[in-house]
Amino acid sequence: MSRYGKRADLIVHEHEPFNVETCAAALAEGPVTATDAFYVRGHGRVPEIDPAAWRLRIHGLVQRELELSFSTLREAFRERQVIATLQCAGNRRAGLMAIRDIPREAPWGPGATGTATWTGVALAEVLALAGTLEGGAHVGFAGADECAEAEPAQRFGGSIPLDKACRPEVLLAWGMNGEPLPAVHGAPVRLVVPGYIGARSVKWLERIEVRTHPWHGYFQHVAYRLLPEDGTPGPGAGMPLGLVALNADVLTPADGETVAPGPVEVRGYAFAGGERSVERVDVSLDGARWSQAELLEDLGRWAWRHWRITLELAPGDHEILVRAWDSSAATQPEDEAALWNPKGYANNARPRVRVSARA
Amino acid sequence: MSRYGKRADLIVHEHEPFNVETCAAALAEGPVTATDAFYVRGHGRVPEIDPAAWRLRIHGLVQRELELSFSTLREAFRERQVIATLQCAGNRRAGLMAIRDIPREAPWGPGATGTATWTGVALAEVLALAGTLEGGAHVGFAGADECAEAEPAQRFGGSIPLDKACRPEVLLAWGMNGEPLPAVHGAPVRLVVPGYIGARSVKWLERIEVRTHPWHGYFQHVAYRLLPEDGTPGPGAGMPLGLVALNADVLTPADGETVAPGPVEVRGYAFAGGERSVERVDVSLDGARWSQAELLEDLGRWAWRHWRITLELAPGDHEILVRAWDSSAATQPEDEAALWNPKGYANNARPRVRVSARA
């Protein structure tokens, strides 16, 4: 067992702030990721918060400011559960770094993502109680975590459009997979924004602000923005990330693995992001003939789909190619190199793993 | 002037049913497409409907059935305007047919799309008056047009999820670009479903049915479904189309055009579909170095963006490549051949036009 109750098989990118990635084998265990295997993307030291003293402040363009205790939040609103996939915008950055280095960014593989059952109350109901005023178009969130990497140093934060904030799936969550939310995942209360990059699901939530404009803090106005290949990161440069793009990856066999010739089961995930759903996953050994994988359990519109297919592998080296399709009939881009960007975000190229079939 | 008040420069794919495509030059005139240039995708003869006798029936899983006259519809609900792009699922099919023929389908170029200002009332308000019952999850629509191409012959129809039907942008429309809706575009009243394939914007609307399941008629259960490359069209085969995927095209210069060497202005459109927005359009002459086009007037979240860029063309032959990016950081797939499907739908590959620069 490593720190914060995490399993020893997680891939540690950084100890402080704590940044760990779920290994593919753990993701392959099932469509709901075990809490002790769930990835952590931290930007500061994990804050220690006394739930009894904790207050959530709702202010900005509201009819009345609120300051809610943990017990009020749990008792005054209807408890909801949402199964949602979180995915870091840096997921699969390693693939981009293999093309050209990205200094000062962690080489996340395919495991900066996971799916959990989140328990909490709808942000929409809390906003309704506060009453949003005309001109409110975005909802900002500030956590308790001090982030030295930001310039200037500041607490983590971000915003989502008011329209999204009013959807029932956006939760103020205190439960994860049926247990109290662990400290490392944002206790006592975190935001969960299904379909959006993980950075918008602000942990250790302390403050909610209804605003006219998107969040102006470092983690939305400078970081978590997609730049052109030759762009320079800076305030307002590039497009802000928010909705997650269609993505997929192979969980087993591992890239570079040697397997026995004959039938080989291939498993992976596909995640549509936003409000879309995964409709088809194609798998190919030659990039020309594609077979459809079996889509496994449907956990609802906010969760990824796991999939599997059995391929017949002749002795020799193979490349397994995958492409997912979403409910808009969109598929993934082929060329990973064309997705390279200076901060290494949003790599959703078709995944490929190389395997050797040897008796 | 050709039939139905359409301009003579439209590309006629079929006279009966009437199927005409807007030429790229007409689309390039501005982000709102002139009504007399707007594409028409018809599946049957244009019905002649007396607005005074017309009734709209709302039934199925509702608390009370409604039968609304044209004047009631206009007087009992708040009039709204939405600028929305419609795009046929067969738009850009010609690109797929160049790879491999698609028999019995029209070779639509890039002009089976257009943007108009639609005037009407929110479907959501009409549904609220009827009161949807528990179990209602989809809303079906039937038109007055008899379609002999369907098996069996039937009136045109389709459905959208109830969740989408309750969004304020979905209109029961009687106005187009500030004028009464023309007969060929669905008068007296058509549905307009922004962000969805054109087929869901049912024309000559007569009946709305709240349902447990998606529409079972030919135009949703058999046609307008995306099949794998080796799939066979049939009832329920493939995935139903609905949301439009990110797409873009070049409107000028035309493919194969000869231009003077030196600065050449390139113009086109990009359309994000669904609830997404176009965030960036890249243009390249070599597929390696990309420049960002200027995004022109923003007509709101349901309309495409026109864009322009000036390229410096040396004497010789060039290929202009374009790729759009949406607000989920998704971009278009590179390989048009990989998108080939038996009915030729949803071609959203990166567009490319070949031009010769000669003095």
Q: What is the 3-state secondary structure (H, E, C) of chain A?
A: CCHHHCCCCCEEEECCCCEEECCHHHHCCCCCCCHHHCCEECCCCCCCCCCCCCEEEEEECECCCEEEEHHHHHHHCCCEEEEEEEECCCCCHHHHHCCCCCCCCCCCCCCCEEEEEEEEEEHHHHHHHHCECCCCCEEEEEEEEEECCCCCCEEEEEEEEHHHHCCCCCEEEEEECCEECCHHHCCCCEEECCCEEHHHCCCCEEEEEEECCCCCCHHHHCCCEECCCCCCCCCCCCEECCECCCEEEEEECCCCCEECCEEEEEEEEEECCCCCCEEEEEEECCCCCEEECEECCCCCCCCCEEEEEEEEECCEEEEEEEEEEECCCCECCCCHHHHCCCCCCCCCCCCEEEEEECC
- Residue-level pLDDT at A274: 86
Helix, strand or coil, per DSSP, at residue B57 = strand
Contacts of A350 in chain B (CB under 8 A): none
CB-closest option in A241, A290, A327 to B329: A241
A258 touches B at CB < 8 Å: no
**Residue A62 Ramachandran class (φ > 0 left, ψ -120 to 50 alpha, else beta):** beta
Smallest CA–CA distance from B277 into chain A, residue: A243
CA distance B104 to chain A (A): 22
Over residues B280-300, the mean pLDDT reads: 97
Are B282 and A228 a contacting pair at CB < 8 A? yes
Q: What is the pLDDT of residue A275?
A: 83
Return the pLDDT at A219.
98
State whether A275 and B273 contact (CB < 8 Å).
no
Are the beta carbons of B201 and B86 closer than 8 angstroms?
Answer: yes
Taking the Cβ of residue A280 and every Cβ of chain B, the question of whether any pair is shorter than 8 Å is answered with yes
* Digit-coded pLDDT (tens) for B222-231: 999 999 999 9
* Chain A residues 281-340 within an 8 A CB cutoff of chain B: 282, 289-290, 292, 323, 325-335, 338-339
Cβ contact, residue pair B290, A226, below 8 Å: no
- Residues of B within 8 A of A284 (CB-CB) are none
For residue B90, list chain A residues with Cβ-Cβ distance below 8 A: none
Which of A328, A331, A335, A345 should one mutate to test binding to chain B, selecting the residue with the greatest count of B CBs within 10 A? A328
Nearest one of B240, B155, B235 to B196, comparing CA atoms: B240
* Nearest chain B Cα distance for residue A5, angstroms: 33
Answer whether A274 touches B (CB < 8 Å): yes
Question: Does the beta-carbon distance from A331 to B345 stay under 8 Å?
Answer: no
Nearest to A292 among B228, B241, B275 (CB): B228
- Cβ–Cβ < 8 Å for B309, B294: yes
Residue B116: is its pLDDT beyond 70? Answer: yes
- For residue B143, which of B93, B195, B92, B184 has the smallest C-alpha distance? B184
**B239: how many CB neighbours lie within 10 A of its CB?**
17
The shortest CB-CB distance from B328 to any of A245, A333, A338 is to A245
Percent of chain B with pLDDT over 70: 100
Would you call B243 and A276 a contact, using CB atoms and an 8 Å cutoff?
Answer: yes
Q: Do A245 and B338 touch (CB under 8 A)?
A: no
Of B274, B292, B334, the CB nearest to A333: B334
Distance from CA of A274 to the nearest CA of B (A): 8
Give the pLDDT confidence of B128-147 residue by residue, as tens digits. Answer: 999 999 999 999 999 999 99
Q: Across the interface, do B329 and A290 touch by the CB < 8 Å criterion?
A: no
Res. B359 pLDDT band, cuts 50 70 90: confident
What does the pLDDT average to over B3-17? 95
What pLDDT, on the 0 to 100 scale, is given for residue B115? 98
Count of H-run helices and E-run strands, chain B: 6, 24
A328/B243 touch (CB, cutoff 8 Å), yes or no: yes
Band of residue B1 on the pLDDT scale cut at 50, 70, 90 = low
For B75-91, the pLDDT digits (tens) are 999 999 999 999 999 99
Q: Is B273 an interface residue toward A (CB < 8 Å)? A: yes
- Tell me the average confidence (pLDDT) per consecutive run of 10 residues in chain A, 359 residues long: 88 96 96 98 97 98 98 97 98 97 95 98 98 98 96 96 97 98 98 98 98 98 97 96 97 96 98 94 96 97 98 98 97 96 98 96
Contact B139, B37 (CB under 8 A): no
Residue B170 is predicted with a pLDDT of: 98
**Six-digit token pair at B95?**
């690109």
Residue of A nearest to B275 (CA): A275
Contacts of A301 in chain B (CB under 8 A): none
Whether the CB-CB separation of B245 and B89 falls below 8 Å is answered with no
Nearest to A334 among B326, B328, B335 (CB): B335
Judged by a CB distance cut-off of 8 A, whether residue A239 touches chain B is yes
Indicate yes or no: CB of A280 within 8 angstroms of CB of B241: no
DSSP conformation class of B186: T
pLDDT in tens, B196-221: 999 999 999 999 999 999 999 999 99
Encode pLDDT of B149-208 as tens digits: 999 999 999 999 999 999 999 999 999 999 999 999 999 999 999 999 999 999 999 999
Q: Would you call B241 an interface residue with chain A, using a CB distance cutoff of 8 Å?
A: yes
Interface subset of B 38-77, CB within 8 angstroms of A:
none
What's the pLDDT at A228?
Answer: 97
* Three-state secondary-structure class, residue B171: strand
Task: Please state the pTM of the whole predicted model.
Answer: 0.96
The continuous run of DSSP H or E covering B257 comes out as: none
What is the enclosing helix (H) or strand (E) of B278? strand B278-284
Tell me what the pLDDT averaged over chain B comes to: 97
Split at pLDDT 50, 70, 90, the class of B275 is confident
Classify the complex by whether its ipTM is higher than 0.90, answering yes or no: yes
Cβ–Cβ below 8 Å for A328 and B275:
no
Average pLDDT over residues B43-54: 97
Kindly state the tokens that stand for A238.
Answer: 């590039």
> Given this model, what pLDDT does residue A227 score?
98
